[in-house]
A and B are shown apart, each in its own frame.
Chain A
Amino acid sequence: GAVVSQHPSRVICKSGTSVKIECRSLDFQATTMFWYRQFPKKSLMLMATSNEGSKATYEQGVEKDKFLINHASLTLSTLTVTSAHPEDSSFYICSAPDPNQETQYFGPGTRLLVL
């Protein structure tokens, strides 16, 4: 079964609105989670590292004010796309390392469509 869940699985919103995506680790705690973005027919690109209890670390070129990350608890990280535009439409995937740091569990992804 899935060890990392994401909600919602897909969302459609209007331009200018904000959308929150949740990433949850099931049955284990994750002090760190990772957010990736996958463009259609493209690869995954690391956006940021979500850190429980502290600020997220963003990759170069990722707007931190646009993509707000909050690691609210040891099992939940949220990504909020603020003032969404059509170019933010994408597939967003989160991951979390298992407690033994031996592997990475990926969520099933959230497809965002901004009209």
Chain B
Amino acid sequence: AQSVTQPDIHITVSEGASLELRCNYSYGATPYLFWYVQSPGQGLQLLLKYFSGDTLVQGIKGFEAEFKRSQSSFNLRKPSVHWSDAAEYFCAVGPNNAGNMLTFGGGTRLMVKP
């Protein structure tokens, strides 16, 4: 069975500092991996996704993620965090590029200190 683990429930970083959110997955087939951000009152927004090719993928809002097959990881990074990045972040795995039928991780709540 597929699963996604986000080990960090909460993370607090200072504005301007770098960020890394961890994600580990277990999937029986070729994984299609996604990172979403959830802000209050808004639907989940796709930050980036990966299924093949260059293992370092660039997303919106300055985010990037690196796929490491050997570690079954897909960590999200941002070199300099802005206060507006405070939100809940979800890693997910699914059977196709469209993001259908996703299995989500538990989420990481990011807080940004001024």
Interface, chain A (partner B; CB < 8 A): 2, 4, 32, 34, 36, 42-46, 49, 93, 95, 97-98, 101-109
Contacts and interface: CB of A to CB of B under 8 A. Distances in A.
B41 A44 contact: no
B31 interface: no
A44 B104 contact: yes
Interface residues of B, number: 20
Contacts of B44: 44, 93, 95, 106
B13 interface: no
B59 interface: no
Contact of B90 (A44, A103, A109): A44
Nearest to A108: B43
Majority DSSP secondary structure for residues of B touching A: loop
Interface in B89-114: 90, 96-107
Nearest to A6: B43
B46 interface: yes
A43 B106 CA distance: 4
B70 interface: no
B84 interface: no
A104 B100 contact: yes
Given A43-B104, A46-B103, A93-B44, 13 more contacts: A32-B100, A34-B101, A49-B100, A49-B101, A95-B44, A101-B96, A102-B98, A103-B99, A104-B46, A105-B43, A108-B41, A108-B42, A108-B43
Contacts of B98: 97-98, 101-104
Closest 9 CB pairs of A and B: A104-B99, A106-B43, A106-B44, A101-B98, A97-B98, A43-B104, A44-B104, A43-B106, A108-B43
